[in-house]
Amino acid sequence: MGGEIRLSNSVALEYGIAAPEYRLPAATHVGRVKLQVADLGRSLAYYQQVLGLRVLDQSTHAVLGGQDDSPLIELHERKGARPVPRRGLLGLYHFAILLPDRPALGRFLTHLADIGAHAGMSDHFVSEAVYLQDPDNLGIEVYADRPRSEWRQEQGQLSMSTIPLDVESVAAAAGSDHWSGAPAGTKVGHVHLHVGDIDRAEAFYHRALGLDKMVWSYPGALFLSAGGYHHHLGTNTWARGAPSASNDDARLLEWEIVVPERSDVDAAADSLRGAGHRVDRDGVSATVKDPWGTQLRITT
């Protein structure tokens, strides 16, 4: 469908549709996510006890990360913020914590069973995933990727689906090791957003920002990435008709896309401005809001 696309590092892929003009560099990845929560103490307890993150810094807000002290999550308190309704709001669907390997996911699964935490579980072909809701009903995915050599493509796009997870097999991958917190190498792998319209999401994130399309036939969803990854961003219309998250809601305040050089920030900002979007500059970073008010920071 999209034919072969060639990345900036000259690696050719047999799947995906390249951004038509500006393209984000192949080394682009997701950085930290900033969340608004109703009760900082309650959320800190959850993110430490359930997800195994460590508090790296705490003042008016808290920064959490894994055992290698890389910042992954920022929690900002707004007293009385409303929990996300079951139907969802336009904005965050979930953010996704990527563990370094399958054994780590197995240890995490066993840990959830030990503490009695409820979770959804799915096999997406390219990855194996666990789904949770935090105390404000913000969505969280914890996952491990399958090796890229095992990813498959069909009609020009990556094959992704949602089937039941082989829980016993994943848990067995842990061997006799026990969960001791989010290990070194843990990252924010992707962000998945509720949007109001897939075509407008494609125009913003694919044509203006420069992400390549990876999967576009999944019902009501579009998955995009840089560098041939299965997705750094998912968008869906599964909360169509809902309002955008407001200042009074628990919500995603901002998520980051990290690029290699300041010149890449400049180029992405120019592309977004050229498509008619307001871009603000803050030192080496650029911030922009999508059509539904979700703020993205592009930084090095």
What's the pLDDT score for residue 12?
53
Checking if the pLDDT of 13 tops 80, the result is: no
Q: Would you say residue 3 has pLDDT above 50? A: no
Residue 7 scores a pLDDT above 60: no
What pLDDT does 14 receive? 75
Average pLDDT, whole number, for the chain?
95
pLDDT at residue 1 in the model: 37
User: Has residue 227 got a pLDDT over 50?
Assistant: yes
Q: What are all long-range contacts of 62-71, with beta carbons under 8 Å and residues at least 24 apart?
A: 63/32, 65/182, 65/186, 66/181, 66/182, 66/183, 66/184, 66/185, 66/186, 67/181, 67/182, 67/183, 67/184, 67/186, 68/184, 68/185, 68/186, 70/186, 70/187, 71/32
Is the pLDDT confidence value at 11 over 50?
A: no
8 pLDDT exceeds 80?
no
C-alpha span between 48 and 295 (Å, rounded): 26
Residue 272 has pLDDT above 60, yes or no: yes
| Sole residue written with tokens 């290698």 | 68
Residues 254, 246: Cα–Cα separation, whole Å: 13
Confidence of residue 9 (pLDDT cuts 50, 70, 90): very low
Average pLDDT of 49-74? 97
Print the SS3 string covering the chain.
CCCCEECCCCCEECCCECCCCCCCCCCCEEEEEEEEECCHHHHHHHHHHCCCCEEEEECCEEEEECCCCCEEEEEEECCCCECCCCCCCEEEEEEEEECCCHHHHHHHHHHHHHHCCCCEEEECCCEEEEEEECCCCCEEEEEEECCHHHCCEECCEECCCCEECCHHHHHHCCCCCCCCCCCCCCEEEEEEEECCCHHHHHHHHHHHCCCEEEECCCCCEEEEECCCCCCCEEEECCCCCCCECCCCECEEEEEEEECCCHHHHHHHHHHHHHCCCCEEEECCEEEEECCCCCEEEEEC
What mean pLDDT is predicted for residues 169-176? 97
pLDDT of residue 298: 98
47-59 per-position pLDDT tens digit: 999 999 999 999 9
Report residue 33: phi and psi, to 5°.
-115, 140
